């Protein structure tokens, strides 16, 4: 019984990181104007707020032109 508990504890310790992170991939977006990276998962709220504040229709960030992307990053860094 003691060996089983040890094996179970070891299996739990090895599986914990995979279970905590789930299957979702972490997407990072490079901001070329400020030379830093942003985890896009946390960025979606700010991006939606920027679209609303600037009266833009929703569009995937990667499909925006360079001028819009620069405007977003300028806004983003001035806000937070």
Q: Is residue 17 situated within a structural domain?
A: no
In DSSP terms, 30 is beta-bridged to: 37
DSSP 36: E
3-class secondary structure per residue, 46-68: HHHHHHHHCCCCCCCHHHCCHHH
pLDDT, position 13 = 65
Q: Is residue 65 situated within a structural domain?
A: yes
**Residue 60's domain spans which residues?**
24-79
Please state the pTM of the whole predicted model: 0.63
Q: Is residue 3 situated within a structural domain?
A: no
Of 35 and 80, more confident: 35
Domain count for the chain = 1
């Amino acid at each position: 019984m003691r060996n089983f508990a040890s094996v179970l504890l070891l299996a739990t310790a090895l599986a914990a990181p995979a279970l905590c992170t789930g299957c979702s991939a972490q997407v990072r977006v490079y901001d070329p104007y400020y030379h830093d990276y942003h985890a896009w998962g946390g960025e979606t709220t700010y991006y939606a707020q920027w679209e609303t504040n600037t009266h833009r229709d929703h569009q995937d960030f990667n499909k925006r032109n360079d001028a819009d992307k620069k405007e977003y990053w300028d806004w983003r860094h001035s806000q937070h």
